[in-house]
Structure 1
Amino acid sequence: MTKGFDCATPLTVAVTAAFRSQNFEFVARYLVPSGWKALSRKEAEIITEGGLQIVSVFETTANRPLDGREAGLNDGATALQLAIDIGQPAGSAIYFAVDFDATIAQMNTIADYIAAAAEATPGYYTGVYGSYAVIEEMYKRGVCSRFWQTYAWSGGKKSEVRNIYQYQNDITLNGINVDLNESYGKEGWWNTNEIPEEDEMNMPMKLEQWQWDMLYQVLGAAYNADQLSWEWMQKIVDKTLTVTELVFLNTVLDGRVDRGIKV
């Protein structure tokens, strides 16, 4: 078992050192587009130099997953770009938050959101943060592979598949507001010492076959609508698409598809 915490406040050198001296080994921080709580590359370097691992969590609003598949695709694409920008290495995890007391009736929509976010973040493991019910349901449906359970809304139950468990909220420690967590392995955490070299960004991605199939399906819709040239589809067939090229496609398609411009 490993000791950790999550917080909205960016960490300084001094605060990171204080937590490390208290035997904390990881911190979960927000992988979000903007705002005071967003993790930056500079902060990631500070955390790494201070001896902590980083867990990335994407959350804009608590009930965002209720917007379903389209929101998941958009948020996944955003998370992918942010992860690359701050130096989060492929092979680590991005957790997507379900930060409310979700009902059974809402699980289909939540699963659609998480599955779509996974589609949009190839090269990264996809995780979900949520209650016992959310963790169990997403595990059963197979929409992600990493699980961060909160004690909130869980009625004292603990999922057997949890990788991280949040057991206390809203305490002040080392001058900042934090939640306390413990982890049990395969968290998907990372640090900036693992940043891939530039050349690796331009090497063919190492994906499982189901991930290549998913990419083909998602981008195939744009190809069938005459918004994407076959050159890009061929790269997927040949498994030669690079991370740099995928980021380019995510960025350009968002801006051009609505205007009918072929990529």
Structure 2
Amino acid sequence: MTQGFDCSTPLTAPKAAAFVGNGYKFVGRYLVPSGAKALTKTEAGIISDAGLQIVSVFETTANRALGGRSAGLADGATALQVASQVGQPEGSCIYFAVDFDVTPAEMPTVIAYIQGASSATPTYTTGVYGSYAVMEAVHAAGACSHFWQTYAWSGGKKSTFIHIYQYLNDVMANGIAVDYDESYGNEGWWNTRITPEPPTYTMNAKDANAIIPFLSAGYGATSSKPAQDEFHRLANALRKVSGQPEQ
């Protein structure tokens, strides 16, 4: 288990060094195009020089995920641009925030948002930040590969497959407000001084391409638009887990 924190305040070299001195190994920062909380290339270098790893999270507004797939596609495209600007290496993870208490009725829209963001970020792994219910639903849908749970809105429950867990919010440390996190490996973090290992794929392209024609046959055999969309989504999921571009 590794200790870290996330914050909306940009880190200076002295503050980054202070957190390293406190034993922290990673920091979650906002991968957004503008605003006071935005990670910049200069700050990414400062954080990296201090020896901290960076966890990128995209969040413009707390309930942005209610925009569904179209919002996810748009946010994923923006995240790609910002990742390039700040020097985030391909193969690392971009987490997309679902920063509110999602109702069961809203969950399909949230899943569609993460699916859209995942489709728009093929050169990065994709993660979701949110509550226990969000973790469970997005994981069951296979919408992304990385999971960062907050204790908020989770009722004391904790998913077994998560990579990062936010266990305390709004604490003052080294002069800034932070949230405390712990991680369990394969976080998808990055550092401008260290090239990440290339992503590993859970299926090889040959096997994926042997299955996809059966999904294509199902697509052609139905006139139901929801069914066709699901066949298309499943085919793209196979392409993604085998390292191939989506179509």
TM-score under structure 1 length normalisation? 0.75
Q: Secondary structure at the match of 1:166?
A: strand
Contact 1:88–1:195 at 8 Å: present in 2 too? Answer: no
Partner of 1:187: 187
User: Whole-Å Cα distance in 2 between the matches of residues 59 and 122 of structure 1?
Assistant: 19
Q: Once superposed, which parts of structure 1, at least 4 consecutive aligned residues long, lie more than 3 Å away?
A: 206-210
Q: Which residue identity is paired with 2:182?
A: E
Query: How far has the Cα of 1:195 moved from its partner?
Result: 5.8
- Deviation of 1:240 (Å): 11
Structure 2 unmatched ranges of 5 or more: 213-242
Query: Deviation of residue 194 (structure 1)?
Result: 3.5
Residue 122 of structure 1 corresponds to which residue in structure 2? 122
Q: 1-side partners of 2:162 and 2:119: how far apart?
A: 22
Match of 1:32 in 2: 32
Aligned residue in 1 for 2:102: 102
| Partner secondary structure for residue 16 of structure 2 | helix
Identity across matched positions, percent:
63
Gaps of 5+ in 1: 197-205, 214-238, 242-263
RMSD of Structure 2 on Structure 1 (CA): 2.1
Q: Which letter maps to 2:18?
A: A
- 1:160 aligned onto 2:160: yes
Match for residue 20 of structure 2? 20
1:147 aligned counterpart, secondary structure: strand
2:171 counterpart residue number: 171
Give the match for residue 2 of structure 2.
Answer: 2
* Secondary structure at 1:78 match in 2: helix
**Aligned position for 1:55:** 55
Deviations 1:118-153 (A, max 9, x none): 110111010000000000100000000000000000
Aligned to 1:64: 64
Q: Distance in 1 between matches of 2:161 and 2:13?
A: 34
Q: Which amino acid counterpart does residue 187 of structure 1 have in structure 2?
A: E
- What SS does the aligned partner of 1:102 have? coil
Residue 231 of structure 2 corresponds to which residue in structure 1? none
Aligned residues: 206
What secondary structure sits across from 1:104 in the alignment?
coil
CA contact (8 A) 1:89 1:194 kept: no
TM-score for both structures, normalised by structure 2: 0.80
**Partners in 1 of 2:119 and 2:182 — Cα distance?**
28
